[in-house]
């Protein structure tokens, strides 16, 4: 398998794990993982893991500012992938 598959798999796993851990910290009223860190994992390619964690743990699903940033990153990622294929940088 291409190395990029492993890259996205590992990042998604880490994003899932830290989102779940942040939910656990929230429940225990402990110091939390910053939104900047969570969104960095999303931006770097952990979108699927973070999205699944949001659904599974019901975490960050009602915080509108976080959701706007999350969906903004997804739109940027879609546009980047489209651009890579459209301009022939990546061929399928």
Whether the pLDDT of residue 1 is over 80: the answer is no
Q: Residue 44's pLDDT band (boundaries 50, 70, 90)?
A: very high
Model-wide pTM > 0.85: yes
Report the pLDDT value the prediction gives residue 88, as an integer from 0 to 100: 86
The domain limits of the chain are 3-86
Percent of the chain with pLDDT over 70: 98
- HEC readout, 33-87: CCHHHHHHHHHHHHHHHHHHHHHHHCCCCCCHHHHHHHHHHHHHHHHHHHHHHHC
């Amino acid at each position: 398998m291409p190395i990029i598959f492993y890259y996205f798999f590992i990042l998604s796993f880490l994003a899932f794990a830290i989102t779940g851990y942040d939910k656990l910290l929230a429940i225990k009223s402990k110091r939390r993982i910053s939104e900047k860190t969570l969104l960095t994992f999303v931006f770097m390619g952990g979108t699927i893991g973070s999205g699944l964690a949001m659904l599974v743990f019901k975490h960050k699903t009602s915080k509108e500012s976080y959701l706007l940033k999350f969906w903004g990153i997804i739109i940027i990622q879609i546009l980047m992938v489209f651009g890579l294929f459209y301009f022939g940088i990546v061929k399928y």
